[in-house]
Amino acid sequence: MNRDGIGRRGFLAAAGLGGLGLATAGLSGCSAPASAGGGRESTVATYIPSSYDDLYPGIEKFIDVATERSEGRLKLDLFDSGSLLGAEQLLPGLLGGVADVIFQTSSYVSSTYPVLGAMELPFVTEDYGKLRRAIAPGEEPHELINEKLAPKGARNLGGMPTTFEYLWTVDKPIRKPEDVRGMRLRVAGEIEGETVKALGGAPVTMGSAEVYEAIERGTIDGLVSYVGTVISRDLQTIVRYGTAGHFGAYTVDAYCRSDWYEQQDPEVRRALDAAGEALYRDGTETMVKVHTEKYLPQVEDAGVELIKPDRAGLAAFREAVQPVYARWERRFGDARTARHAVETIRKA
């Protein structure tokens, strides 16, 4: 999508945020607050394309609920598929005022906001239901996230916790930690990279759109990914093995600038909060249904062998990735709070 026929480069330039200017732009924002006198368009951006039919309905639900609950005060103009801001540009673009709301996966921003890493740690829980309950708006982990984001000018409105990330490979199945040694595995974020290193592999960071060609060329041997990326990027036709386990997870969240949020009328803030809850509740429900009823069967129908380690095998992986926790705690900078966040997820 393009706004009034202006391409992405033109829009960035018009906002004064082309190139490196994104990283240093102020927080003044490009949209005035919506008011009872009639809504004005607010820009929404994501790199996620509509082909992600596990995640995209949640984004649409957010926009529908925000529009309906605000009674027209909010008019959200969506730029998807990186048409305005690519994956790496979303956060600086939000803080610089190019977008008012973004949908972003935590793996792209948890190096900037380490508090998000608690949800990404490998084997933090083997019960997806706990991970799902922990991220609910209003629950302690979500409140902690916004407490840490506020000084940096951002606010998390709600998000969808993805199902667990598996290890997907082409030529060699991974049945035990030692099998990862020497492998080059694509990762999308810092914690995924630390997990691969803890298992003896070499992480390669790249966007999901680049993975298919990288596998074809032999640049990588596989990837760490949730099943949505596999199907949406047609990777089930090229990978041969998938090792099931909680090797990571991330959230797909709606963010806005904290100052922009505070400038809105109370009715608009309530509409944004309701939209975030709908993203979490309805978006996650749709995503899980798509994964279990559609994506995993498609993976197996394509001939991918799903390897399910037994209890002892999972314990070996769990032990191997323990160094990831210590590294994350150091980056978080507050070991006590970091450990409490992990325990809150495990007890959810």
CB–CB of 287/162 below 8 Å? yes
Length, in residues, of the chain:
348
Tell me whether the CATH fold assigned to 8-115+133-161+252-290 matches the one assigned to 166-248+293-346. Answer: yes
Dihedral sign for Cα atoms in the order 123, 152, 7, 206: negative
Q: Angle CA(152)–CA(7)–CA(105) in degrees, nearest 5?
A: 40
Rounded Cα distance, 254 and 275, in Å: 9
Joined together, the tokens standing for residue 46 give 């994501």
Among 299, 152, 181, residue whose Cα is nearest residue 240: 299
Question: To which CATH superfamily is domain 8-115+133-161+252-290 assigned?
Answer: Bacterial extracellular solute-binding protein, family 7 (3.40.190.170)
Segment 169-225, tens digit of pLDDT:
999 999 999 999 999 999 999 999 999 999 999 999 998 889 999 999 999 999 999
Confirm or reject CATH 3.30.1370.160 for domain 166-248+293-346, answering yes or no.
Answer: no
Instruction: Choose among 225, 185, 219: nearest CA to 205.
Output: 185
Query: What's the average pLDDT block by block, 10 residues per block, for the chain (348 residues)?
Result: 39 40 40 55 95 96 97 95 95 98 95 94 95 93 95 97 97 97 96 98 94 98 97 97 97 97 96 98 98 97 97 97 97 95 94
pLDDT score for 59: 98
* Rg for the chain, CA atoms, rounded: 20
pTM of the complete model: 0.87
Domain boundaries, the chain: 8-115+133-161+252-290, 166-248+293-346
* SS3 readout for 87-137: CCCHHHHHHCCCCCEEEEEHHHCCCCCHHHHHHCCCCCCCCHHHHHHHCCC
**Whole-number pLDDT of residue 40:** 72
